[in-house]
A and B are shown apart, each in its own frame.
Chain A
Amino acid sequence: MEKIRIALAQINSKRQNKKENLHKIEEFTKKARNQAADLIVFPELSLTGYVMRDQVYEQAETIPGPSSRTIESISRKNGIAIVFGMPELSKKAKATIFNTAVFVGTRGLIGKYRKMYLPTHSVFEEKRYFRPGNQTVTLNTALGNIGLCICYDLFFPEVCRLTRLKGAQLIVVISASPAVRKNYFEVLTTARALENTAFLAYVNMVGVEDGLQFWGGSRLIGPTGDLLAIAKYDQEDLVVCDLNYNDIRTAEPSIPTLRDLRPELFDELKRESEQF
């Protein structure tokens, strides 16, 4: 598939109210279907809201699990693939949880990505609750090769780079970024798309949770760093936009970052970061 239509579903999740959030996910998915979208993306932890603290143990579910199955059904009914975020309970433990992005296709679960970089500074306390994932993910789907990242991963270029090296044409980044970090993400989203000559769809949460104000501003960025679509700041929004993977063909010759990769530097990077 060369062209796809993607919907950026910038929602305000109701904290710890999966029922209401699933309903909202369904409503937004219907609206996206009515605009002929192929894929709809919801924010990080959109199933539960971001600030859960100790309540995360009550909210987490396995994948597959009741909520992911509901979303599979929403996807099937509407004929749209869905990416959303949720706290994922390990199948082998009772309270070991991952911060996970889930990709559901119209025929069921396609894959998931467990956030690798868990912010634990300033107002963030993710390492207290989540176990980090240990691998980057690029999914080969009917809608193209799609890499998954979550929020703070964007600060580490190797995550997006690895999804690209695994073939990602589109990098989907789900996020719960508070307003004081807006400037960082506006720069990083463009940088990650440009340096990888890939499309990047960034979907951020909106709303206020325990004083954290999620700023929205979800966007689709093209492989030359162009801003192709942007959602409102601070308000719920649904933005539907088209992308044509052929644009990568025209971007790579003029921004040949993949041609110019120097693998030997990665050995050095590994060595230096281990000794840092």
Chain B
Amino acid sequence: MQLASDTLEIDLSEALTRIKLFIEEYINNAGVDGIVLGLSGGIDSSVVAALCSLSIGGNRVLGLLLPERETYDPKDIDDAKFVAEKFGIQTQVCDITPTLKSLYATIPIFDSKDKICRGNIKARARMIYLYYYANKLNRIVCGSSDKSETMMGYFTKWGDAAADIAPIMDLYKTQVRKLATHLEFPDKLANKPATPALWPGQLAETELGVKYEILDLILYGLERFMTVEDIAHQLNVNLTLVKKVRNKWLSAEHKRRTPLTVKAGYRTVGLDFRLPRSGN
């Protein structure tokens, strides 16, 4: 296995076909009227919005813009609206600032200086809005998680990762960017720096401590059962970095699973109740 800049090349037309088919089949079989998704103006949600529109038609896709005062950036709103217009998606804007203020005010132990705990509230508040719309309109929530952030656990548990389907969760961030270009997104949007928008100035690459071009190759190596030594050697990066990525990936497994319970019964949820998902 050779890790190089072209290792992550995929057949983008094939990926597009697969994802469109996936969304279309899921919606048809779920018996729902459409999709609700959060439109942040970032690359992942923009690509997912486009994919949903191409699969089931923009008139069945609702993009929710969920800004809040602290991280408000008119550029993000413009980008989200640009994508919505380009792919014929309906949008609604809900300013979640008052909701957040209420939450902060009613939590007795609330610590405004703890930006992670506070930021997670934002991600979970957005989730509540998305699911309200989905329930009310008989739709499903479509998530925008990509493979890089999912493997790294770089998301809020029950927050931005909460969704019914996640069409790009098996594509690394660099692959999502290429798919965006394939979908004729402007370069500026396709290469826009990723941010979870939990606090001002937050940038994914800064927090992850590595550029996506390298991170994705490390994760790809781990996915393919390569040793950390081999990955570090091939990419000519520090072994400590590869080990750090591996540890993050492994330690975040709890975020990707159903809650753990103790095996006490004959068949147990999350352990050995092995059932197919409903629908076909």
Contact = CB atoms under 8 A, between A and B. Distances in A.
B276 A209 contact: yes
A12 B21 CA distance: 13
A211 B21 CA distance: 10
Contacts of B113: none
A125 B17 CA distance: 26
A12 B280 CA distance: 9
A12 B25 CA distance: 11
Interface centre among B21, B276, B277, B279 (most CB of A within 10 A): B276
Interface string A196-234: 000000000001111101000000000000000000001
B280 A15 contact: yes
A210 B26 contact: no
A52 interface: yes
A15 B276 contact: yes
Interface stretch (B93-101, B103-111, B133-141, B267-275): B267-275
Given A53-B275, A54-B274, A211 B280 contact: no
A51 interface: yes
Contact of B277 (A12, A14, A179, A210): A210
Interface majority SS (helix, strand, loop, mixed), chain B: loop
A211 B22 CA distance: 7
A179 B277 CA distance: 19
Contact of B276 (A52, A179, A207, A213): A52
Given A207-B280, A234-B17, A213 B275 contact: no
Contacts of A14: 280
A54 B21 CA distance: 26
A54 B275 contact: yes
A87 to B, nearest CB: 13
Contacts of B277: 210
Given A207-B280, A208-B22, A208-B25, A53 B274 contact: yes
B18 interface: yes
Contacts of A49: 280
A179 B19 CA distance: 11
A125 B274 CA distance: 11
A89 to B, nearest CB: 19
A15 to B, nearest CB: 5
A209 B276 CA distance: 8
Contacts of B273: 54
Contacts of A211: 22
A55 interface: yes
B143 to A, nearest CB: 13
A110 B184 CA distance: 56
Interface in B227-280: 267, 273-277, 279-280
Nearest to A128: B274
Contacts of A15: 276, 279-280
B146 to A, nearest CB: 16
A154 B243 CA distance: 38
Contacts of A125: 274
A232 to B, nearest CB: 12
Interface in A120-166: 125, 128
Contact of A234 (B21, B275, B276, B280): B21
Contact of B18 (A12, A128, A209, A213): A213
B22 A210 contact: no
A205 B274 CA distance: 22
Interface centre among A16, A52, A208, A234 (most CB of B within 10 A): A208
A210 B276 contact: yes
Interface centre among B26, B267, B277 (most CB of A within 10 A): B277
Contacts of B21: 208, 213, 234
A16 B278 CA distance: 10
Interface in B9-43: 17-18, 21-22, 25-26
B25 A207 contact: yes
Contacts of A52: 276
Interface centre among A54, A128, A234 (most CB of B within 10 A): A54
A15 B276 CA distance: 9
Interface string A34-57: 000000000000000101111100
A63 to B, nearest CB: 23
Interface of B: 17-18, 21-22, 25-26, 267, 273-277, 279-280
Given A128-B274, A211-B22, 10 more contacts: A15-B276, A15-B280, A51-B276, A54-B273, A54-B274, A54-B275, A125-B274, A179-B18, A207-B280, A234-B17
17 contacts: A15-B279, A15-B280, A49-B280, A52-B276, A53-B275, A54-B274, A55-B275, A179-B18, A207-B25, A207-B280, A208-B22, A208-B25, A208-B280, A209-B276, A210-B276, A211-B22, A213-B18
Q: Top 6 A-B pairs ranked by shortest CB distance?
A: A208-B25, A53-B274, A15-B280, A51-B276, A54-B274, A53-B276
Interface of A: 12, 14-17, 49, 51-55, 125, 128, 179, 207-211, 213, 234
